[in-house]
Every structure is written in structure tokens, then in C-alpha cells.
Structure 1
Amino acid sequence: MAGPAGQTAGIEATGGAPTRYGPALTLLASLFFMWGFITVINNTLLPHLRSVFELDYTQTTLIESVWFIAYFFASIPSARLIRRVGYQRAIVVGLLVMAGGALLMVPAAKVPSYGLVLTALFIIASGITLLQVAANPYVTVIGPPETGSSRLNLVQAFNSLGTTLAPLFAGYLILGRSKGGTAAVGTTLTAAERYADAQSVILPYVIVAVVLVLLAIVIARFPLPTIGQSTQRASQADRAGLSLWKHRNLVFGIPAIFIYLIAEIGVANLFINFVSQPDIANITREQASRYLALLWGGMMVGRFAGSYLMRRMPAEKVLAGFSIAAFVVMIVATFAQGPAAMWALILVGLCHSIMFPTIFSLGIRGLGPLTEEGAGLLIMAIAGGALVVVQGKLADMYGLQWSFLLTAACELYVLFYAVWGSRVTHPLPDERPVA
């Protein structure tokens, strides 16, 4: 490749990013790891809180709904903050907001207070929203547009590494140190035992808060490259004649993210309760958390594999194949019994692996100066995870296993997006970042 090495570096194998951006991508991968880790602690926290506060499935999934409602309310303010202070400072703010929310879990456990728990989780999720609005488009446009999906799947694999380790971390420190987590399903706890169980969330959230503050310090001191002008928010004058709604891939990508999140969050949050049932695996919730790690581990493997595949074939074709596989395994999980149902639900993690990063990168493809606004709308669509409460209601009405038919229906929309909805219309020019 012609030109001085400092200006036109070679392309790395890892997602097609220029070599000079390798350290930045490595650091950003740590962000993806942390927000994945913290999000999946919820999968262990929900069955724990169900026991502590004696909740039904609707009330339990409402906790996760509050988490994802934060994406709806925080996405647009996050995009505005990024415009005002820049990507790097916004990331630091996001990490500190998350740390503050994690520390709020301490008094929430001391009381204990269901309302205070919801408030703490909302604050943490708002910080994660800011990180998502900043980091996802940054990674997508930091290299050639044609390898954006591959690159985002690669760093999202580190997000999945965090989601794989989180159930083991929280299973040991929360469920493993609580009466409700180690007792047989259906055991009735006394008020004293439930109060003691509530205290088990303090240590893991203090550890998380400390790590987040340290990461914020590192990010604040690191020289991140700036994104090129054509992928930043356009001024009012520059936007004349430009419309987000002319881009089919974005218009159908927003509901694709929204609907996919219903599927991912529903499976993850109800997994422990599902596999611990006597007619499925008949194990304790603590033991079930170890199998949950396999579900998220499948997502990590799938994202590394997806990153490789997308350097050799179109991202939309890979997405179509994974969505068909996801539909098949969800049908098996709905109608099978015993270990077959459990392993089918575990396999859906592999099938879901590439969906979010691929839909996201396809959704902002060709947006040019509208990239930041489009990314904000796609991140806002993560609020679809709030509708997990609908699956909780279906589980209360018709049974937990039958509720997974909702998940199977969601996979079909992702297939539609891959086949037709992701096609780019009215593309605008992109520009690579500058050092």
C-alpha cells in the first residue's frame, strides 16, 4: 500500500481495521466486555430477587423492563452529550454513571427496597446506553465500510466473553451465598432468610463499581482517534435534503433491533427458572447459572465465527442463516422435554450471537453524515428488551415453556430483515476516521 506508514497503515486481520487503530479497538473491546458483564448479572439477579421479594414472573420480568426502558429515555440525550463533549469524554461519563448506579445497590440491599433496586438498575442501564451510542458506531466506521459488520462482531465477541463470565461470577457471589439460590425449587424462605439473601448483592456490585472507575481513568488518559466529519452529526444546514427515513436499511433495522431484543432478553432472563424446573433439568438455580454461562459462551463463539464468515460472504446472508437456525432451536425448546429442551435453549445463544452487531452495522450502512443520528435510533430500539414483561405475562398465563413461541416469532422478523429489509437505499458517502 502506497504512502507513509503513519498515514496509510496495513489492514489487520482482526476485522479489517488499520493497524494504527489496533490499540483503540483493544481498549474499546474492554468497554464491550464490561457492559456485557454487567447486563448479564441481571440474569442471575432476577431469580434471586424473585425469591427475596416473592415475585411472580410478571413482576420479575418487570425488573428487566425497567432496565431496557432506560435505553429509550437515555439514547437521544446520549447522542446530544456526545455532540457536546465528544466520544471520549462521553464514554468516561457513561462509566462513572454506571459506577454510581452499582454503588446504589448497596443501600438497596441494606433496606432492602424493590423500588431502590429498580432505580439503581435504571441508572446503570442509562450509563450503558451512553457507551452503546458512542462505541458501536465508532467501531463500525473506524475502518472500511465493507468490513464494518465483521469488525463490530469481533469486538462484540468480547462483549460475549463478559456475558459468559458474568453468570459464574454472580452465580457464586449471589446465588451461591444465598439460601434461595442453593435450596431446591419451591422451598419457602422465612423473612429472616430473605433479608439475609438480599445482602449477597453488595459485594459483587462494589467490585463492579471499582472496576468501572478504574476503566474510566484509563479511557480518560488514552488518545482515541476522532471520527471523520462525514460520519458525525450533520449541521442543520448540511442536513437540507437529507432524511433518515429514505434509508430502508435503517427504517426496518430499528424494529429489527427492537424485536431481536425481545427474543434475546426473554431467553436469557427466564433461562434459570426454565431449566431448574423438575420436568426440564431438575437442578438448583445456582447450578442452572453454570448452564447459562454456556448459552452466553455460544454467543461469544458465534461472534468470532461470524466475524470470520463476514470477511468472505455478505453479512445479510450470514444473518439469514443464523435466524433460520434460531427459529428451529426455539421450536425444539418449546415442544421438547427434559435435557433436549434445555440444550435447545442453550444453542439459541450461538444462533443469536451475530444478530445485534450485524443488524446494527447493516442499519447504519450508507448513512454518511446521518450515522450518529441513525445509531442513536438503533440504540433506542434496544428498549425492545423492556417487552420481556410480555413474555413474563404469557408465562404466568400459559406456562413458561409455551411463552418461548414469542421468541420463535421474533426470529422470523430478523430473517425478513436479512433477506429484504437490510437493502441499502439512497446511500451517502462515508469517510474513515482521522488520527
Structure 2
Amino acid sequence: MTKNKYLFPFILVTSLFFLWGFAHNLDPILIPHLQKSFTLTTSQATLVDSAVFIAYFIMAVPAGMIMKKFGYKFGIIAGLLFFAIGCFMFIPAADAQSYNFFLVALFVIACGLTTLETAANPYVTVLGSPETGPQRLNLSQSFNGLAAFIAPVLGGKIIMTKGYSDAELNTMSEAARKIALASEASSVKTPYFILGAVLVVIAILFALSKLPAIEQDAGVPPAGKNILHAFKHRHLAWGVVAQFFYVGAQVCVMSLFVIYARKSAGLTDMEAAWYTGIGGGAFLLGRFTGTFIMGFWPAPRLLTLYSIICVSLCVVAVLGHGMITVFAVVGIYFFMSIMFPTIFALGVKGLGRDTEFGSSLIIMSIVGGAILPRIFGLISDATNDIQKGYIVPLVCFLVVALFGWKGYQTGTATN
């Protein structure tokens, strides 16, 4: 997969994919927990995603500039420290019992995640042969899938087990009920403190490690003077659009799964958290399976096929009843698993010295995770039916299918 000199840095950088995957996949537990603690509507609860993914839009360009000036290693360390600071902010946020404070903490975490992803994703694609870049990135992203399996189950046990039942809440006065619900927010302090401490240790490890600098070939033309120059690559422009819609779809599916399963199939929060873990397992299995299939089948064709299957499963999620809807969404977890790394690798392929700018643009497009789930929530609240919200990811997967069919093809715009 990689040359010997790239093996250790490949392993070290791949560990980052698990860490940010763990943070992202605590959100499906955090959202219903905060929704209950602060008595939020579905639309208000999606502000968690907005806080996270707006940071991707704001921080992606500065992160790319950091990488160009100081290198990938510096960017990775900076990202880890931002990530850790945001985790530690959960402690005062819980003590203050403030939803807005939680949103600020999540924004800081996401600034760290943005920097890490802007560095790690392109770094993995160039640690070896360009032809195997998509396959290599899918392998690294598989550990993101491992986190998708572990985080909801572990987070559910730690965060949700100390909550009040509806029967207990109904016996309380309004003032006591508000205090009881707000106090539940304190259960997030332990997991986020531990995560922050681990991140500090790993940042120190990176500071003490030697990562190879990636040198561009002498024949590669220089990068443009500004980030918009990278848009001369048509496939990058397509990649930015496809990633915007894909991340929006992924966040709709993952972050709102507990709320969706509770309403579409009548599951309890703990049962829904368990099925979220099963979905994470399907996501992990899909990553490894997709990586294997890409060894003998073109990545763009697999991307198109999986996108069409996801469209079909979204139809079931909209129209189905009972547990079939939960199983359909678990199926979406499996088939969408390859999409982010495949879109990313195809989007930055052949960019040369525009790679850092191209990476920043694709990371910026993650802002779809802030915008599209809000539309999902508004549709759900307006119709009083969360299943109808799945119209949003259905449209998103259609866009991804178009990228895999035609948009991935490399080329430079004449104007």
C-alpha cells in the first residue's frame, strides 16, 4: 500500500481519522441529550451541527494557508490542540448549564477538526502512488468508521444512563423540571475531558516524531496566487459540490438517527443509541469492503452504484413504517461509507501544487453539514413528520451519483 519510508507516518496520521471520527460520532448522542436537557425542537437541536460545520467553512482556508507556510506536521499539532481546548470547554459549559456555551465549545472543537482534516486527507493521498490514493484514503477513513461504531455505544452508556424518565419529569414542578433537565448536561464532562487529555498526549507524540516532507516534482507547475485559481480544475469544482451535498446527507443521517428511530420505530433513547452503534459498525464494514472492491473495480463506478442504492434506501426511510425504516438507515450507513474519502481523493487528484488550496476548498464544502440538516429539521418540524426530512439526503445522494458518473473526470477549464 505504501513504501517502507511512508509506513510509520501513514500509521501515525491514520490514527487521527479515528480521533475526529470519535468526536463526530458522539454528536448523535449529544444532540438528543441536549434536546432533552434544554427542551429543544428538532430544528433547534440541529444547531449542534451548524456550530460544527460552520467552523469547517470559516477555518478551512486559514488551515490550508498554515499547511502551505509551516507544513503538514505543524498543522496537525495545531489541529490537535484546538480539538483538545474545545473538549475541555465542555466542563465550564456543563457547569454553566448553557446551550450556547456548548455550541461555542463545539465550534472550537470543529476548528481543530478542520485543521486536522485539511492536513491529514491530502497527506495520506500523497504517501505513496497517486493511482492508489483513493484506496489508501479509504483505508485510513476506515478507522473513522471504527469510531462510528464505538462512539455511539460508549457515549450512550456514559451520557444517557443517568437521565430522568418521562414519568419522573412529569411529577416535578416546572422549575424543578428545568433544573433536573439542565443538570443532565453534566454527564458529558467525563468523556470530553478524557478525550481532551488523550489529544494533548498525541499532540506531544507528533511534536517528537519525524514526518517526511512531501516534495512536489520539479515538472509540476506552481500553484496559483490565490485559492480560487484551483477552480481551474473542473473535477475539483465538481468535487466541492459533491462533498457539500454528501456531508449534508451524512450529517442528516447520523446526527438525527436517535431522534428518527425514536419517532419512526418507537425505540427508546438507549435502544436508538444501540442501533446507532450498529449503523457505525455497518459504516466501518462498508469502508473496509469498499477499500477491497476498489482494488479491482474503479472507484468512480463504485461511488455511483452506492449513491443510487442510498437514494433507494432514502425512499424506504420516507415511506416505510416501523423497524424497516431503521434497517434502511443502517443500510445507508453502509453504502455511504466510501463517499467522503472517494470524493476527496478524486477531487484533489492531479492538482499538483494546488493540492493544499484544493484540499481547503473541499473541506470548506463540509459546510453542507451545517446547512442541509437545518433544512431537514425545518421540514420535519413543519410537517410534524421526521421521515419526510429524508427527502433532503435523497437529493444529496443524487448529486453524488452525478459526480461519480461524470464529474470526477480530470480536466482544466479553458477560461
Scaled by the length of structure 1, the TM-score of the pair is 0.89
Distance in 2 between residues matched to 1:247 and 1:84, nearest whole Å: 23
Task: Give the letter aligned to residue 355 of structure 1.
Answer: M
Q: Which stretch shifts more, 255-264 or 220-229?
A: 220-229
Which 4+ runs in 1 deviate beyond 3 A? 182-189, 233-236
Q: Aligned-pair distance for 1:191? A: 2.0
**1:33 aligned partner:** 18
Cα deviations across residues 359-397 of structure 1 (Å, max 9, x unaligned)?
A: 000001111111111011001101110011111111101
C-alpha deviation, 1:245, in angstroms = 2.5
Name the residue aligned to 2:239: 253
**Distance in structure 2 (CA, Å) of the matches to 1:64 and 1:245:** 27
The equivalent residue for 1:5 is none
Give the distance between the partners of 1:246 and 1:267, measured in 2 at CA. 33
**Cα distance in 1, alignment partners of residues 142 and 119 from structure 2:** 18
Per-residue CA shift, 1:14-47, capped at 9, x if unaligned? xx21122111111111100000001111110000
- Look up the equivalent residue of 1:202 and give its one-letter code: K
Say whether residues 1:205 and 2:192 are aligned partners. Answer: yes
* 1:113 corresponds to 2:86: no
Q: Report what 2:402 is aligned to.
A: 416
Whether 1:326 and 2:313 are equivalent positions in the alignment is no
Q: Shift of residue 84 of structure 1?
A: 2.4
The 3 A distance-change label for structure 1 pair 353 and 288 is same
Aligned to 1:227: 214
Partners of 1:184 and 1:283 within 8 A in 2: no
Q: In the aligned structure 1, how far is the partner of 2:115 from the partner of 2:99?
A: 25
What is the aligned partner in structure 2 of residue 194 from structure 1? 181
Specify the alignment match of 1:269 in structure 2: 255
| Match among 61, 64, 69 for residue 84 of structure 1 | 69
Partner Cα separation in structure 2 for residue 141 and residue 186 of structure 1? 55
State the aligned residue count. 406
CA-to-aligned-CA distance 1:145-186 (integer Å, 9 cap, x gap): 11100000000000111121110121011111222xx65899
The aligned counterpart of 2:204 is 217
Match of 1:46 in 2: 31
Structure-1 residue corresponding to 2:276: 292
Change (3 A) 1:39 1:382: same
Match of 2:114 in 1: 129
What amino acid maps onto 2:188 in structure 1? V
1:66-81 mapped onto 2 (5 Å cutoff): 66-81=51-66
Instruction: Check the 8 A contact 1:52/1:197 in 2, yes or no.
Output: yes
Aligned 8 A contact 1:184 1:284 in 2:
no
- Please give the secondary structure, in 2, of the residue aligned with 1:143: coil
Q: Which residue of structure 1 aligns with residue 3 of structure 2?
A: 18
8 Å CA contact retained: 1:185, 1:284: no
Do the aligned partners of 2:245 and 2:396 also contact (CA within 8 Å) in 1?
yes
Aligned to 1:96: 81
| Unaligned residue ranges in structure 2 (runs of 5+) | none
Matching residue within 366, 375, 380 for 2:359: 375
Cα drift, residue 230 of structure 1: 4.4
Q: Distance in 1 between matches of 2:17 and 2:168?
A: 34
Given that 1:320 and 1:418 are in contact with CA atoms closer than 8 Å, whether structure 2 keeps it comes out as: yes
1:234 to partner: Cα distance:
7.4
Cα distance in 2 for partners of 1:284, 1:21 equals 46
Residues 363 and 175 of structure 1: is their aligned pair in 2 closer, same or farther, counting only changes over 3 Å? same
Which residue is 2:267 aligned to? Answer: 283
Q: Alpha-carbon deviation of 1:66?
A: 1.2
Q: Where does residue 124 of structure 2 map in the other structure?
A: 139
Q: Secondary structure at the match of 2:26?
A: helix
Deviates more, 1:41-50 or 1:418-427: 418-427
Determine the C-alpha separation between the residues in 1 that align with 2:221 and 2:272: 48
Shift of 1:187: 6.4
Q: Give the partner amino acid of 2:313.
A: V
Q: 1:62 aligns with which of 29, 37, 47?
A: 47
| Distance in 2 (alpha carbons) for counterparts of 1:185 and 1:91 | 46
1:433 aligned residue: none
Higher helix residue share: 2
How far, CA to CA, are the matches of 1:56 and 1:133 in structure 2? Answer: 33
Q: In structure 2, how many angstroms separate the alpha carbons of the residues matched to 1:62 and 1:124?
A: 15
Shift of 1:333: 1.2
User: CA offsets, 1:101-139, max 9 Å, x none?
Assistant: 111110100111111111100000000000000000000
Q: How far off its partner does 1:292 sit?
A: 0.3
- How far apart are residue 283 of structure 1 and its match? 2.2
Three-state SS of the structure 2 residue aligned to 1:283 is coil
Unaligned ranges ≥5, structure 1: 1-15, 428-435
Q: Deviations over 1:261-312 (max 9, x none)?
A: 11100011111011112xx332211221110011121111111111111121
Shift of 1:243: 4.0
The one-letter code of the counterpart of 2:282 is G
For residues 351-430 of structure 1, the aligned pairs below 5 Å read: 351-387=335-371, 388-398=373-383, 399-426=385-412
Q: Deviations over 1:315-373 (max 9, x none)?
A: 10110111011111111111110111110011100011000000000001111111111
Q: Confirm or deny: 8 A CA contact 1:296 1:349 kept in the other structure.
A: yes
Matches of 1:336 and 1:310, distance apart in 2? 32
One-letter amino acid matched to 1:307: T
